[in-house]
Amino acid sequence: MENGTHATERSQKTYMLNMGPAHPAMHGVVRLILELEGERVASADCEIGYLHRAFEKHAEAETWNNVVPWTDRLNYVSPLINNVGYALAVEKLGGIVVPERGQHIRTIACEISRVTDHLTCVGASAMELGAFTVFLYMIKAREYLYQLIDQLTGARITTAFTRVGGVKADLPADFAAGFRGAAAKVREAVSESDQLLTKNRIFMDRMEGTGVCSKERALAYGITGPFLRASGVPYDVRRAHPHLVYDRLDFDIPVGRAGDNYDRYLCRMAEIEQSLRLVEQCLEKIPAGPHSLDPKEMKDAYEIQDLGKFGDTALLRKYAARVDQTLEGMGPAAAAATRAGDRAVTLPTKEQTYTNIEGLMNHFELVMWSWGIKIPAGETYSAVEGGNGELGFHAVSAGGDGPYRLRCRPPCLFIMAALPELLRGALIADIVPTFGSVNMIAGELDR
Amino acid sequence: MSLALDQAAWTAAKVVFAIFGFGLGIAGFLGWVERKQSAVMQDRIGANRASIFGFRALGLFHPIADAIKMLTKEDFVPRGADKTLHALAPMISLGAGLFCLAALPFGGTVTALGRAWDLQPIASPVGVPLVLAVLALGAHGIVMAGYASGSGYGLLGALRGAAQMVAYEVCLAASLAGVLFLYGTLDLQEAVLWQVRHGLWGIFVQPLAFLLFLTAGAAATKRAPFDLPEGESEIVGYHVEYSGMKFGMFLMTDFVESIVICGLVTALFLGGWSVPGLNLPGMGALGGLLMAASFSVKVLLLLFLLMQIRWTLPRFRFDQLLDLGWKNLLPLSLLNFLATIWGIYLWR
């Protein structure tokens, strides 16, 4: 390709090609508008928004817990991480701390989901390069993990597993054994795929040096996750801003150098192993005890006072007042200092609900509009490490039943913003591995 | 019946068998093999639902079901398309492939019922160049299809097809130069007979040529990992605007062309119809049957190998594919040719 041709001459030599929204390589729905010189991409533009479902606006009309199922639909390849990310944001806002066991279960759920996410991404990229068999090996491995997720949550994709203050259910009885079996099969599939791809000349030629994103550009675009780490920045939310129990677990952060598709592939493959290790450690260390907060009807004294001031007397009888033992009173300042992890936010057990009137009433009140969980007014940003990078939720509460505003930071939006730059000057065939390594999930991109 | 008419009827019968029995039969069978073999490789069950009166026969009826589906589907032609070329393209592609089948040596000459029967449908003293030339004609169908579709993707597929054909047909011929020089003939039947006479298969004399020809052959027939003109996840391919039986013809062309390449490899490198240790031409009608069977089995084994490769390797990129053709395969083929000539010169 000759460079520096005159602009008018150039415009005659190029032609426009629409890639998507219905195109085999554009998983989900997204449209690339390509300007081509032969097979070379002169410029690319991407149009997003085909899967816009008004998630954020929708959340404003829901109660805090009712948003959880909608988060499943964000990154539908690793829905559990979305569930956890959202719950952590709400709990941060409400000053709620989940019991240890619940935190371990959430960590386990997140890491299993990360493995399914990476398996899908690597497998789909390989399939689009023509290595169809690898895709099926990976999907088979993912299936074992999906079965585990199914046992844990009752669903494969629409997990809706977390609640404000805990998780839906404890681990099933034989979960640890089930995981050991599944992990062995995943490791086998990963090593098989590794043998088929990593040193495969054709695969390396396709992946190496294509879609290169330098450290500086990646940071400038706000890219996170495996994409950023492959460019050589060891930023991982799990390490940088520890949440759940990550600060107590031992794991490595694989970092690439070149920032090309091959490094991203290697990063993801290495992260699968790290995630499996994390789950193993969690299963080893998981303490006994409740997985969610006890459904005590207890509120800080000042909150009950405030309710009374607003004439909300119906609620007054329902809650026991917790007073500060320092006798300084329980003002908001003191509350922040002594904020405990046992607010009444979780539903009573089914046994309680079905067999005694207190349980039944408690259950109904929690699920009824304007009677349920009320998060104190305020706003916060909380992030977890999603499959694609930093998955953040900015939650604003006006003290009501549900979010006043909920903003989701989808990790792949920022990578998609960088995509036109990555594709410029590449061949049409390079779009496939580059776009594959972006791991665009339309659900979280368009929300 | 006069001898001439008799001969014409026999030739016609052979051609019909080669095209419909061998060609389309194996092509349909390959559709099944492709599904089942990939299923075995990928830990799946594979297609097994088509049944006749409840008999599923391991999914063997799927090619028939496919054919019925394709024949009854809407034949869609896009608005911007050139209707004539659009219809003509798959016929050219498939026709060229099928013609090549008729030139393959399914067997030698056997004596039965008091006369000699030549089992090669179309015997030609220039069999090898003939097959290669007609096979190359098939690429015209691809270019026409892509151009006539009036679609950007189709056009890209057509351009890829044309460039790939040019690159690999050259390698195809160059890789054969050495072995043909050795056999001293361009006739496929003579090549087989040379191997029979010397009791030595071409693959042992010219192993490099075998590998080069098989690779270039897979590329020339657009089999994965060389399936760039139809790279389904990138540009969908030259046949993106085809449906129904026209699409089916392109599908079948792929199979038929692989059969032709495998047939050429069998004839030139694997001893053709011969079986080591058996004097088939002297065994009469039974010998004739064994010849055709031996030839078919060898072709099928090669086809299995090609499929194995197809389901294992990722796809090349376009520039890498052309680099491989022009910068690696072609120089190697020429070196192999020079080495062969030098060897023959010293040997004589």
Q: What is the pLDDT along chain A (447 residues), one digit of tens a residue?
A: 344 444 455 556 788 888 878 777 777 788 888 888 877 888 888 888 888 888 999 999 888 888 999 998 888 888 999 999 999 888 888 777 788 888 899 999 999 999 999 999 998 888 888 788 888 889 989 999 999 999 998 888 888 888 888 888 888 888 889 999 999 999 998 998 888 888 888 888 888 888 888 888 889 998 998 989 999 888 888 888 888 888 888 888 999 888 888 999 999 999 999 999 999 999 988 888 787 776 555 566 677 677 767 776 655 555 555 544 444 544 555 444 444 333 457 777 777 778 877 777 777 777 777 667 777 778 888 899 988 889 999 988 887 778 899 999 999 889 889 989 888 888 888 888 888 888 888 888 888
Please tell me the predicted confidence (pLDDT) of residue A324: 45
Interface residue B236 vs chain A (CB under 8 A)? yes
Distance CA A371, CA A345 (A): 11
CA-based nearest distance B233→chain A, Å: 5
Contact between A360 and A312 under an 8 Å Cβ cutoff? The reply is no
What residues of B are in contact with residue A428 (Cβ under 8 Å)? 156, 234-235, 318
Decide: A160 and A306 in contact? Cβ < 8 Å.
Answer: no
Cβ contact (<8 Å) for B233 and A206? no
B314–A131 CB contact, under 8 Å: yes
User: Which of B37, B228, B317 to probe the A interface (max A CBs under 10 A)?
Assistant: B317
For residue A294, count CB atoms less than 10 angstroms from its CB and return exposed for 0-12, middle for 13-18, buried for 19 or more. Answer: middle
Q: Is B317 on the interface with A (CB under 8 A)?
A: yes
Per the CB < 8 Å rule, is A131 touching B313?
Answer: yes
Cα(A26)–Cα(A419) distance, integer angstroms? 13
Chain A positions touching B236 (Cβ under 8 A) are 23-24
- Chain-chain contact of A196 with B319 (C-beta, under 8 angstroms): no
Residue B111 pairs in a beta bridge with: B116
Give me the half-sphere count of Cα atoms (radius 13 Å) on the Cβ side of residue A421.
12
Q: Quick one: DSSP state of residue B230? A: G
Please tell me the predicted confidence (pLDDT) of residue A300.
63
For A432-447, b/e burial (b = at least 16 CB within 10 A) is: bbbbbbbbbbbbbbbb
Instruction: Return the amino acid letter for A130.
Output: G
Q: What is the CA radius of gyration of chain A?
A: 24
pLDDT of residue A331: 53
Chain A within 8 Å of B319 (Cβ-Cβ)? yes
Q: How far apart are CA B237 and CA B160, in angstroms?
A: 9
**What is the assigned CATH class of domain A55-95+97-290+380-446?**
mainly alpha
B89 within 8 A of B74, measured Cβ to Cβ: no
d(CA A143, CA A53): 28
Residues of chain A contacting residue B156, judged by C-beta atoms under 8 Å apart: 17, 39, 428
Question: Model-level pTM greater than 0.95?
Answer: no
Q: Where are the domains of chain A?
A: 7-47, 55-95+97-290+380-446, 298-375
Peptide bond into A21 cis (omega under 30): yes
Which of A17, A38, A203 faces B152 most closely, judged by CB atoms?
A: A17
Q: How many CA atoms lie within 13 A of A439 on its CB side?
A: 31
Residues ≥6 apart with Cβ < 8 Å to A402: A59, A60, A61, A62, A63, A64, A66, A67
Residues from chain B that touch A26, judged by Cβ atoms under 8 A, are none
Residues of chain B with pLDDT under 50: 1
First-to-last alpha carbon distance for chain B, in angstroms, is: 49
Q: Which H or E element spans position B337?
A: helix B330-347
Q: Cβ contact (<8 Å) for B233 and A127?
A: yes
Q: How far is B151 from chain A (nearest CA, A)?
A: 9
**Which helix (H) or strand (E) element contains residue B110?**
strand B109-112
B56: Cβ–Cβ under 8 A, 6 or more apart, which residues? B48, B49, B50
- Between CA A105 and CA A168 the distance in angstroms is 10
Tell me the chain A residues in contact with residue B317 when contact means C-beta distances shorter than 8 Å.
Answer: 205-206, 427, 429-430
Are the Cβ atoms of B42 and A129 closer than 8 angstroms? no
B63: Cβ contacts below 8 Å, ≥ 6 apart: B28, B29, B31, B32
Q: Cα-atom radius of gyration of chain B, to the nearest Å? A: 21
Contacts of A193 (CB under 8 A, 6+ apart): A122, A123, A126, A134, A137, A138, A269
Q: Which residue of B has its CA nearest to A139?
A: B42
Q: What is the pLDDT of residue A337?
A: 43
Chain A partners within 8 Å of B160 (Cβ) = 39
- Which residues of chain B are within 8 Å of residue A202 when distances are taken between CB atoms? 225, 313-316, 320
Distance of alpha carbon B98 from alpha carbon B109, whole angstroms = 23
Structure tokens at B160: 């890829």
